[in-house]
A and B are shown apart, each in its own frame.
Chain A
Amino acid sequence: MAENNGTYLIRGASILGAGAEDLLISDGIIAARGAAAATHKDADGATVIEATGLVALPGMVDVHTHLREPGREDAETVETGTRAAALGGFTAVHAMANSNPVADTAGVVEQVHSLGRAAGWVDVRPVGAVTVGLAGEQLAELGAMADSRAQVRMFSDDGICVHDPVLMRRALEYVKAFDGVVAQHAQEPRLTAGAQMNEGAVSAVLGLTGWPAVAEESIIARDVLLTQHVNSRLHVCHVSTAGSVEIIRWAKERGINVTAEVTPHHLLLTDDLVRSYNPVYKVNPPLRTDADVQALRAGLADGTIDVVGTDHAPHPSEHKECEWAQAAMGMTGLETALSVVQHTMIETGLMTWADFARVTSTAAAQIGRVTDQGRPLETGEPANIILVDPAARWTVDPAKMATMGRNSPFAGLELPGKVVSTFYKGHPTVLDGKLNTPYREPATAGAS
């Protein structure tokens, strides 16, 4: 497999949106940057990629992806989900635990991990369940998952809140033994029984059961205090309200070790869209108000919110082609994340491409303890790189996506920014905006 050891000379890319430089990729690492790249000994015979006008960024790391396998291969598989990830500019994704069987044992996380390696499009990092079967009653074998070949560091019952305060406390304490993090889906269950959408002016008119902001904020408030008390590490999934941003800002000011994520859709869409009763806008947590959207953008820009996580949640069409109350919650996001973040954060002047690299890659890799990702684009670093055309504009068409899910809330929207190339461990998984070939590990391809 010579292509894995291919050498690529990227010419004239704007590194993190700064000045144009060359990058030489060889043997899976950045062999040279700048003027040294073209004169490097490996540059002879390298495939030249003209990148004038393109922005070079570290490969994006998603802290929150649903790949659905095992169990719901009709919705997505590791293969299709990671193809979508590569096309969206990702080089690593964290696969959430709510598969069937639940990823609550070393066996299941190793299965997902090896499916990811076999696919070869991105680094698939399984997330382990906090509790057995996501049932919220008994801790799963967190240590076994941490010690497995999948080396799980992030644990989450995502989709369901670890609402028992004692269980949450124990989980936070226990993961300290292996530098783990508990990623909380903050949703007080009693306050959200039967909830369908954000509780407010729109839900009052539509007659849909409200999902109050306080149901999210009260859990976050409790959890940051628990985290402080046991001196552990907390990650808050998909923050969706202005109040949550305030609480996290307060916690960080107090030195509490908390990180937070926001989804692209919460950065752009509001609950006004629910007036159509189109379940493509049904998601957990729900779309909120414009005031929340603005607070989330401000929080992401000032670092209160650390990362963008897609919460990519593909569903088969029959789960969305129905009544709102019957529909499944979730939206696809891997192939639109970059464009939505560019649109909401960069085009608005709130962030630079360097900030973009921080919130989509550097900070995300640190939260998941993915040591070879989210690195600077410097000589000697692993070559997880994407090339983005920031001037491109495209109209979202879910039917043309690589994910099996057609449930994109951005369908029909014209968005900026297009991923031109994705290099994963030095190998181009995406070239000219199209899937190329997956990465193969030369030494272990046969063994695993």
Chain B
Amino acid sequence: MKHLLSTEDLSLANAIRILDTAEEMAAVGDREVKKLPALRGRTVVNLFFEDSTRTRISFEAAAKRLSADVINFAAKGSSVSKGESLKDTAQTLAAMGADAVVIRHWASGAPHRLAATDWIDAAVINAGDGTHEHPTQALLDAFTMRRHWSKLAGSSSIGADLKGMRVAIAGDVLHSRVARSNVWLLRTLGAEVTLVAPPTLLPIGVEHWPCKVSYNMDDTLAQGVDAVMMLRVQGERMNASFFPSTREYSRRWGFDDNRLRALDSLGLKDTIIMHPGPMNRGLEISSAAADSPRSTVLAQVRNGVSVRMATLYLLLSGDTREPAASAGAATNTARTNTAHTNAARSNAAHSTKESN
């Protein structure tokens, strides 16, 4: 794994690896010294073409807890807003020796461009691109769900997936990078996803997605659900006729007090309510729902740092250079290598024997 651009092409093994590593990173947050030396001397650039203080400080905290040097490059008020191209910005960061670029961009696919071109040879982490994907948000959501799901099962979350978990994602799917990343990742982890939205806020082509689609929030709840993820809805969408009014939207698609009570009367005592934030209280989610014990909103924020630490660690700690360049390290690490190759080889020998 050189980049984290989307969850669509994230394998189950890599997804579990990130989530498991995040569990170890979460433990660091409980220690007296909340810092690890793993990325000492590495430079992480937060390249933000779009304002997002939450995501930026989450990545910043993650990088700093791993002892990386962090450079925040807000494209607003910089040369980028004066017309400097993504290419020139990337080449500038490359010249400064960035090891990783955490990019937030209003244009779908901008992180793919950085990763696919020779403008910069750094690890690229997609921190949200247009209406495409927001993979670390989906990973932190999955991390939150996995802890909940494992706790209910009474087992360790390490190595676990989300098989059998029923997740409803409700709201403006059409414009949501969070929804897209979650659909792919939750599918990979084995959860059953239902999208709940007005037909105007679902993309043409959604029928090809690995999930169910519903136009009715109450039916979806009644059929049983283990997590409800509410998506942020922008009031401006009303002006583009995506829905008639914010009141109608709240009534039909929002998670209001009635639906909070419905969870109880439906016997869904363990169902959690999620939101990627920032919330529009009173629009897609009522205050009572957002502040209820079912709400995981703050846990999601907390888990965000762990998941981003895991991502940075897994992308940046390994040897990404040509094998020849690391030859000098062989002596220092012979012991651990020996142990690893031994295990691998004895397994190989084992299977050979079996097949004979």
Structural contact, B109 and A324, CB atoms closer than 8 A: yes
Given contact pairs A204-B208, A205-B205, a sample of 20 additional A-B residue pairs in the complex whose CB atoms are under 8 Å apart: A204-B203, A204-B205, A204-B206, A205-B180, A206-B109, A207-B130, A207-B180, A208-B108, A208-B130, A208-B131, A276-B116, A277-B108, A277-B116, A318-B87, A322-B87, A323-B109, A324-B110, A324-B113, A325-B107, A325-B130
Residue among A196, A204, A277, A322 making CB contact with B204, cutoff 8 Å: A204
Given known pairs A277-B109, A277-B113, the reply for A205 and B85 (CB within 8 Å) is no
Structural contact, A322 and B109, CB atoms closer than 8 A: no
Residues of B within 8 A of A209 (CB): 131
Alpha-carbon distance between A276 and B204 when the two chains are bound, in angstroms: 20
Task: For the complex formed, measure the closest distance between the CB of B180 and the CB atoms of chain A, giving whole angstroms.
Answer: 6
Residue among B106, B108, B204 making CB contact with A206, cutoff 8 Å: B108
Within A142-180, the residues touching B (CB, 8 Å) are none
Residues of A within 8 A of B86 (CB): 322-323, 326
Alpha-carbon distance between A209 and B205 when the two chains are bound, in angstroms: 12
State whether the Cβ of A69 lies closer than 8 Å to any Cβ in chain B.
no
Residues of B within 8 A of A277 (CB): 108-110, 112-113, 116
Structural contact, B8 and A207, CB atoms closer than 8 A: no
State whether the Cβ of B275 lies closer than 8 Å to any Cβ in chain A.
no
Residues of A within 8 A of B203 (CB): 203-204, 210
CB<8 Å pairs between A and B, sample of 21: A199-B205, A201-B205, A201-B208, A203-B205, A204-B206, A206-B132, A207-B108, A207-B129, A208-B109, A277-B108, A277-B116, A321-B85, A321-B87, A321-B117, A322-B87, A323-B105, A323-B109, A324-B108, A324-B110, A325-B109, A326-B107
State whether the Cβ of B133 lies closer than 8 Å to any Cβ in chain A.
yes
The 8 A CB mask of B256-283 against A (1 = contact, 0 = none) is: 0000000000000000000000000000
State whether the Cβ of B177 lies closer than 8 Å to any Cβ in chain A.
yes
Size bin of chain A's contact surface: 20 to 34
Size bin of chain B's contact surface: 20 to 34
Task: For the complex formed, measure the closest distance between the CB of B111 and the CB atoms of chain A, giving whole angstroms.
Answer: 9
Task: For the complex formed, measure the closest distance between the CB of B267 and the CB atoms of chain A, giving whole angstroms.
Answer: 35
Alpha-carbon distance between A203 and B177 when the two chains are bound, in angstroms: 13
Alpha-carbon distance between A326 and B86 when the two chains are bound, in angstroms: 10
A contact residues vs B (CB 8 Å cutoff): 196, 199-210, 212, 276-278, 318, 321-326
Structural contact, B110 and A212, CB atoms closer than 8 A: no
Residues of A within 8 A of B110 (CB): 277, 323-324
Task: For the complex formed, measure the closest distance between the CB of A282 and the CB atoms of chain B, giving whole angstroms.
Answer: 11
Task: For the complex formed, measure the closest distance between the CB of B133 and the CB atoms of chain A, giving whole angstroms.
Answer: 7
**Chain B residue with Cβ nearest A321:** B87
Structural contact, B8 and A323, CB atoms closer than 8 A: no
Alpha-carbon distance between A34 and B110 when the two chains are bound, in angstroms: 59
Residues of B within 8 A of A206 (CB): 108-109, 132
Residues of B within 8 A of A326 (CB): 86, 107
Alpha-carbon distance between A278 and B115 when the two chains are bound, in angstroms: 11
Residues of A within 8 A of B116 (CB): 276-278
Alpha-carbon distance between A208 and B203 when the two chains are bound, in angstroms: 10
**Chain B residue with Cβ nearest A209:** B131
Residues of B within 8 A of A324 (CB): 107-110, 113
Task: For the complex formed, measure the closest distance between the CB of A201 and the CB atoms of chain B, giving whole angstroms.
Answer: 4
**Chain B residue with Cβ nearest A277:** B109
Alpha-carbon distance between A45 and B52 when the two chains are bound, in angstroms: 78
Task: For the complex formed, measure the closest distance between the CB of B50 and the CB atoms of chain A, giving whole angstroms.
Answer: 12
Residue among A212, A276, A322, A325 making CB contact with B108, cutoff 8 Å: A325
Residues of B within 8 A of A202 (CB): 205
Structural contact, A205 and B130, CB atoms closer than 8 A: no
